[in-house]
Chains A and B, each alone.
Chain A
């Protein structure tokens, strides 16, 4: 997004009008500049922006661009991680304020990396973007068994169960969890989303998930669609 000359310019964030500041924050997030994103977040708060709006416009907006460029092969994992780290910096400021001012949750999700798999970079990105999208997310961590998922379902009563895997050898475990949900007669009580580098839509359908999510940004959209479908079916 930014060319090299941008790095030579010292931008006084305080001097920018709101719209330019948001645009600059998206650029800074894209470039993984955590300190600048934190500073921008603080400035917008001082200007009486609502935390939810800062989150949506500056942070999620910026991270969505990162997601698109990652999908299109313009950005790679290291850059995405730096951007995510910058977004996390802003979110750490906003999170306590959000809980105090914006109690309306878009839905609740439990998410974990399945048994046998310790990879969590993608899962952590999804967690962050889902939180940015207004969802309450309970992160179960890595190497989660059927029992772990069921315990979390019982405890948190989520709307969405999310499963992640990076390995070809571990992705079939998603079917084990879903089959167990079917066996217990609770499958239709939850939206099941699956994701991970070796997965695809065909796999998601074959294991019985509601949807395959190809990246963190699209997960938010898919989750919202699925929630809307579910609510429409109930009403």
Chain B
């Protein structure tokens, strides 16, 4: 009888707090990359339209996770219109425990799907670009059309979109049906249509680096109002 005892070293737990708009993509990436040790916890995607609710909600999730395990936490959000307040929450937790919490780079999910520089190039090419991702195309009716009140008040369309010139569909998948739907969205908004295939972009890179324990790829934006 072998009396030796094998020591099983478990993978450290990794936690992701994500916008619900990224849930499908993150679950797909977790499965594709066999990342069983990653816990994904989502906040409602509707916060996309009410960014002021994001920092507090993320703060509460971080506290909840900290009460359950010691794993690092990736915030799968861009700044997402919080004006630096999400980063302030992250900084607060990192003051207590160094490098505990990281965030995806960029201002919005559009940016980390497209890639930092690519997004800047797209935006500089046409400042009046309105972006949709796979999620937003699928949810266009509720997250764009209805949430802007266009179902009841179509006359508001001009007020909302008169400064936009084109709709850019940043596609995570090659899905002909979705592309046609995105084109329909552009027509409804009276915008030119353009599709750019991004795949999972920096989201995939960040997830793999997070899993590998490489910190630097995910970094907090410099303080917006630093002098």
In Å, the complex CA distance between A168 and B128 comes to 16
Which of A21-29, A103-111, A195-203 binds B? A195-203
A50 CB-CB contact with B under 8 Å: no
Q: Is the CB of B81 within 8 A of A142?
A: no
A residues 164-184 near B (Cβ < 8 Å) are 166-169, 171-172, 175
Residues in B with CB closer than 8 Å to A82 are: 149, 153, 156
Residues in B with CB closer than 8 Å to A175 are: 225
Q: Is the CB of B83 within 8 A of A168?
A: yes
**Residue A119 contacts which of B83, B149, B163, B227 (CB distance < 8 angstroms)?**
B163
Which of A73-81, A155-163, A216-224 binds B? A73-81
A13 CB-CB contact with B under 8 Å: no
Q: A78-B153, A79-B149, A82-B156 are in contact. Are A198 and B225 (CB under 8 A)?
A: no
Q: A78-B148, A78-B149, A203-B84 are in contact. Are A198 and B51 (CB under 8 A)?
A: yes
Q: How far does the Cβ of B78 sit from chain A's closest Cβ, in whole Å?
A: 8
Q: Mark B82-93, 1 if CB is under 8 A from A, else 0.
A: 111100000000
Q: Is the CB of A121 within 8 A of B82?
A: no
Q: Is the CB of B163 within 8 A of A172?
A: no
Q: A171-B224, A206-B225 are in contact. Are A81 and B159 (CB under 8 A)?
A: yes
B164 CB-CB contact with A under 8 Å: yes
Residues in A with CB closer than 8 Å to B123 are: 116
Q: Mark B38-75, 1 if CB is under 8 A from A, else 0.
A: 00000000000001000000000000000000000000
Residues in B with CB closer than 8 Å to A121 are: 159-160
Residues in B with CB closer than 8 Å to A76 are: 149
B188 CB-CB contact with A under 8 Å: no
In Å, the complex CA distance between A186 and B82 comes to 31
In Å, the complex CA distance between A198 and B225 comes to 12
Q: A77-B148, A198-B83 are in contact. Are A142 and B107 (CB under 8 A)?
A: no
Binding site for B on A (CB under 8 A): 76-79, 81-82, 85, 116, 118-121, 142-143, 166-169, 171-172, 175, 197-200, 202-203, 206-207
Q: Is the CB of A168 within 8 A of B81?
A: yes
New A-B pairs, 20, CB < 8 Å, besides A81-B159, A116-B123, A203-B224: A82-B153, A82-B156, A116-B127, A118-B128, A118-B163, A119-B163, A120-B163, A121-B159, A142-B163, A168-B79, A168-B107, A175-B225, A197-B81, A198-B79, A198-B83, A200-B83, A200-B85, A202-B225, A206-B226, A207-B225
**Residue B127 contacts which of A81, A118, A207 (CB distance < 8 angstroms)?**
A118
Q: How would you classify the secondary structure of chain B's contact residues: helix, strand, loop or mixed? A: loop
Q: A77-B148, A77-B149, A142-B163 are in contact. Are A203 and B156 (CB under 8 A)?
A: no
Residues in A with CB closer than 8 Å to B152 are: 78
In Å, the complex CA distance between A171 and B85 comes to 14
Residues in A with CB closer than 8 Å to B84 are: 168, 198, 203
User: What residue in chain B is nearest A118 (Cβ atoms)?
Assistant: B163
User: What residue in chain A is nearest B149 (Cβ atoms)?
Assistant: A78
Q: Is the CB of B107 within 8 A of A169?
A: yes
In Å, the complex CA distance between A31 and B130 comes to 29
In Å, the complex CA distance between A119 and B161 comes to 9
Q: How far does the Cβ of B75 sit from chain A's closest Cβ, in whole Å?
A: 15
Q: How far does the Cβ of A205 sit from chain B's closest Cβ, in whole Å?
A: 8
Q: How far does the Cβ of A184 sit from chain B's closest Cβ, in whole Å?
A: 18
In Å, the complex CA distance between A13 and B123 comes to 50
Q: How far does the Cβ of A94 sit from chain B's closest Cβ, in whole Å?
A: 21
Residues in B with CB closer than 8 Å to A200 are: 83, 85
Q: Is the CB of B149 within 8 A of A168?
A: no
Residues in A with CB closer than 8 Å to B81 are: 166-168, 197-198
